Amino acid sequence: MLTFINPGLLWGLAGLAIPIAIHLVNRQRAVPLSFSSIRFIKRTTLQQKNRRSLTDLLLLLLRLAFLAAVIAALSGPRWEPEPKGLLASDESAETVVFVVDASSSLSGWGGWEEAVEVFRTRLAELSEDTAVGLVVFGTKVLAEVAPTRNRSEVENTFLTMYPEQTEGVSAVGIKRALELLGSAPGRRIVVLSDFQVSTWQSELLPDVDPETRIDFVGVGDFEQPNLSILSVDSFASREGGTRVIARVKNDSSETAEISVRLQVRGAELEEAVRFSPGQIQPVAFSVSEGSGSEGRVFLPDDTYLEDNEYGVWMGSSPSINALVVIPVEAEPEKLDEADFVSKALSVEILGASNPYFVNGADVSVDIGALIGKIDALYLAGSVSYLSEEQMGDLQRFLEEGGTVFVSPGKMAAKQYQRLREQGLSALTFVGRSKNAAEKGVPYHVGWINPGSDLGKLFDEEAAVDLYQTEIYRYIRFRAGEGAEVLLRSENGDPLFVRERIGKGTLLTSAWSWDTRWSDLPLRFSFLPLLRESLASAIVDKEGTIRLHCGDLLSPTDLPEGASPSDSEYFLLTVEPNVFVLNNKPFEVNVSRAESLSQRVVLSDVRAQLFQNAKTVPAVEPVSALNSNIRSLWPYFVLAAVLFYLVETVLSGYVDNRSSNEVHA
C-alpha cells in the first residue's frame, strides 16, 4: 500500500491545474454539451492542425508528469505491505447447496430434464474444494444431502429423484438449505425450479442473511402448449343417468382440436372438442348407467401429463327436503309467498348444489313427526299461530340440526316474542317501518355481510341487483347476542339474520318474501339468496370431499382412533384416487395450481428473501504490520528526471519543426 511521510505536501498536486488551465485557454474553446445521440453529427475540420495539437498534448502530459513526480518525491512516498484480515484465509472456501423443486409441474414443460442437465453442468463447474449439499422439495423435503466433498453421493441422490404429484412449497426447501449451510464460509444456494407462481408466491419464505449468495436457475419452457382439466363435476340428470362436466383449459396460443375421453366402468365415451387459445370450455358427457361409480376424464398427452387426468365421484348428491308452512285460514295472502318460495326451491337446476324436494302444509302440521324427515322448514308468518307443543317440537327440530326460515306475517310482534320466550332467538321486536307508499321512497339493502356466504355469493357485480331490490316495508328488530346479521338496510336496521341453535340454524327475515312487501321475488337475486342461504345452513348434506395429492385426510373423516398418518390412510391420497371412506366419497387429484404456466418475478422473490437482511458488521482488520517498509522517493526522482529529458527532446523537436515550417 502506498503511503506518504508528508502527505500534506501532496496538496502541491493542485498546482498541476495551472498548466492544464493554460493549455485549455490556449486551445480554441469548444463548449461541451451532453447530447442525445451524436451519430448524425459529422466532425467538421477544426482550424488547428490535429498532429500539432497531439504533440502539444503530449508535451503537456510530460510537464504534468514531471511536476507530479517531483511533488510526490518530496512527500516521502513508501510501500507498506497490506494488513491481512481475519477472514482472509477462508476467502476461497465455498459451500454450495442445490435446492431442487420437485413439485408436479417440473414433470412437464421439459423442466426436470433441464434441471438434471443444469445440475450436472453446475456441479462440474464447482472447484474440488467446494462442499456440495442437496435439498429436493415438494410439499416437504423429499431428499437431502448435507454439504460434503463426495460429489457422487450428491449426484446419485439427485438422479434417483423424480417430481412428485404434489404442490411445491418453496419455503420448505430454502429453509432446509439454510439449516444445512449453517454458518459455513462462502455460503451459496443454487435454486433449480420452474419458478411457477403457485410454488413461489409464498409469504412464508425465510429470511436470508446477506452473506449467503442465492442463484436462481429457471428451468422448463412454459411457452410449450398445454391443455389441462381444471375440474370435473357430476350431476344426476333429469333422465335418470348422470351428467359429467369437465372444465378444460387450453393454455396455449394455438387452437387445439382434441378428443376428451371419459372412462366409467370400463366403458369409454369420447367428445371431440375445439379449443381456442386461452379458452376454458366445459365438456359434457351423458352417462346412462347408474350412479355410485368412479369416472375418469382424460386428455391426450401433452407437455404436462399430470393434469390430463381427473378422477370424479359419480354418486348423486343427497336431496334436501323442505316444507313450507303457512297459516292458510288466517293469512291466505301468504299463499303468494309460499308459491314463490316453493317454485324457487323445487326447480331442478343441474350443476347447482343439492336438489330440493318441497311440500306445503298448514300451521296445524305435526312438526314433531317431521324431525329426521325434513331438512328445512319455511315458516311464512306461521310462528304466531303454532301451539306450545309445536313450539317445543320446533326447538327440538332445530337442536337436532334442522334449518328454519322465518318470515313475518300480520302478528310479527308476537312471532318475535314467542321465539324469544322459547329461547330460540335473540331478536327483539322494535316496530314496523313506515310504509314506502307513505314515505315515497322504498327501502333498500345497504350492506351485505362480507364475511358470510352471502357476501361471497353476491360479489361486486351480482350485489348490484340485490342493492336495487325495493323493500316497501319491513319489521324493525334489534339483533341480540349470537345473532349474525347477514343483510342490513341502508339505515343500518338488520334485515336478514342467522342464529345457531344446537346443531340447527334459524334464519329470520325482516320482511315477507312476497310481492306485497318487496319486489325481491321478481328479481334475479331471489333464487340464489333463498337457495344458497338454505343450502349453506344445511351442513350435513355436503357432497364429495376433494383433496390434492399429498394432502392428509382430516381426522374427522376417519374411523375413531385412526390417525391420518397411518399408512393405510396416508397411501390413499398419495396418488390420484377416488374412494369412499365412512360413507363419504373422496376425490384425490393433482393440484391444478401446478398447471399454471406463469413464472413468478424473480426479483420479487429475491427481495422477499433478503427483506430483513441487516448489514453484517465488518470485521476489524488486525494490525499485523511488519517492518518491511520500502522508501520509494528515489524512483519518483528518477521518473522526474526521465520526464524532464523526454520533454526537453520533444520540445526541441517541435521548435525545430515550427521554424522549418516558417522557413518553408
Partner 1 sequence: MAVTKQDLLDPAYLASLNDFQLMSRVAVDGFMAGIHRSHSHGAGMEFLQYRNYSPGEDLKYLDWKVLAKSDKLYTKVFQEETNMNCYFVLDTSASMQYQGSRAACSKLHYACMVAACIAQSASRQGDNVGLFAYSDHLHESVEIGGRLGQVDHILRALTRLKPTGEAQHESMLQTFLRHFKSRGTVIYISDMLEGEDVLPKLLRNFRVNKSDCLAIQVLDPDELDLPQNRVTRYLDSELESEVTTYPETARADYEKRMGAFLERLKEGLAQSQVDFIQLVTTDSVGVSLAKYFDHRGPR
Contact between 340 and partner 1 by CB under 8 A: the answer reads yes
Of residues 58, 205, 284, 562, which one binds partner 1 by CB under 8 A? 284
> CB of 113: closest distance to partner 1 in angstroms?
21
Contact between 523 and partner 1 by CB under 8 A: the answer reads yes
Give the three-state DSSP class for 208.
Answer: coil
> CB of 528: closest distance to partner 1 in angstroms?
4
Pattern 342-361, partner 1, x by CB under 8 A? -xx--x-xxxx---------
- Locate 356 and state its grid cell: 330440493
Count of CB atoms situated within 10 Å of the CB of 196: 28
Count of CB atoms situated within 10 Å of the CB of 295: 25
With contacts defined by CB under 8 A, name the span among 153-161, 200-208, 454-462, 486-494 that binds partner 1: 454-462
Regarding beta strands 320-326 and 630-631, do their DSSP bridges make them parallel or antiparallel, or are they unpaired? Answer: unpaired
- Locate 184 and state its grid cell: 459455513
Are the C-beta atoms of residues 176 and 565 closer than 8 Å to each other? no
> CB of 353: closest distance to partner 1 in angstroms?
9
- Of residues 212 and 525, the one with the C-beta less far from partner 1: 525
Q: Which of residues 576-635 bind partner 1 (CB under 8 A)?
A: 598, 601, 603
Contact between 448 and partner 1 by CB under 8 A: the answer reads no
In sequence order, what are the beta bridge partners of 246? 232, 283
> CB of 345: closest distance to partner 1 in angstroms?
12
Phi/psi of residue 492, nearest 5 degrees: 95, 0
Of residues 25, 36, 301, 626, which one binds partner 1 by CB under 8 A? 36
With contacts defined by CB under 8 A, name the span among 83-91, 328-336, 527-535, 615-623 that binds partner 1: 527-535
With contacts defined by CB under 8 A, name the span among 114-122, 166-174, 505-513, 516-524 that binds partner 1: 516-524
Of residues 447, 524, 579, 610, which one binds partner 1 by CB under 8 A? 524
Contact between 458 and partner 1 by CB under 8 A: the answer reads yes
Cα 105–Cα 572–Cα 552 angle in degrees, nearest 5: 70
The closest of 509, 519, 537 to 467, measured between CA atoms, is 519
> CB of 221: closest distance to partner 1 in angstroms?
11
In sequence order, what are the beta bridge partners of 242? 236, 287
Are the C-beta atoms of residues 602 and 116 closer than 8 Å to each other? no
Contact between 461 and partner 1 by CB under 8 A: the answer reads yes
> CB of 188: closest distance to partner 1 in angstroms?
23
Are the C-beta atoms of residues 156 and 162 closer than 8 Å to each other? no
Pattern 227-256, partner 1, x by CB under 8 A? ------x-x-------x-x-x---------
Contact between 29 and partner 1 by CB under 8 A: the answer reads yes
Contact between 453 and partner 1 by CB under 8 A: the answer reads no
Please report how the helices 633-663 and 50-74 are oriented relative to each other, as an axis angle in degrees rounded to 10. Answer: 160
Contact between 34 and partner 1 by CB under 8 A: the answer reads yes
In sequence order, what are the beta bridge partners of 356? 320
Contact between 32 and partner 1 by CB under 8 A: the answer reads yes
> CB of 461: closest distance to partner 1 in angstroms?
6
Cβ-Cβ contacts under 8 Å for 483 (sequence gap 6 or more): 425, 426, 427, 494, 497, 498, 499
Regarding beta strands 131-137 and 141-148, do their DSSP bridges make them parallel or antiparallel, or are they unpaired? Answer: antiparallel
In sequence order, what are the beta bridge partners of 282? 247
Say how far apart CA 347 and CA 358 lie, in whole Å: 10
- Of residues 131 and 344, the one with the C-beta less far from partner 1: 344
Say how far apart CA 364 and CA 374 lie, in whole Å: 16
Q: Which residues bind partner 1 (CB under 8 A)?
A: 28-44, 46, 233, 235, 243, 245, 247, 282, 284, 340, 343-344, 347, 349-352, 457-458, 461-462, 464, 522-528, 531-532, 598, 601, 603
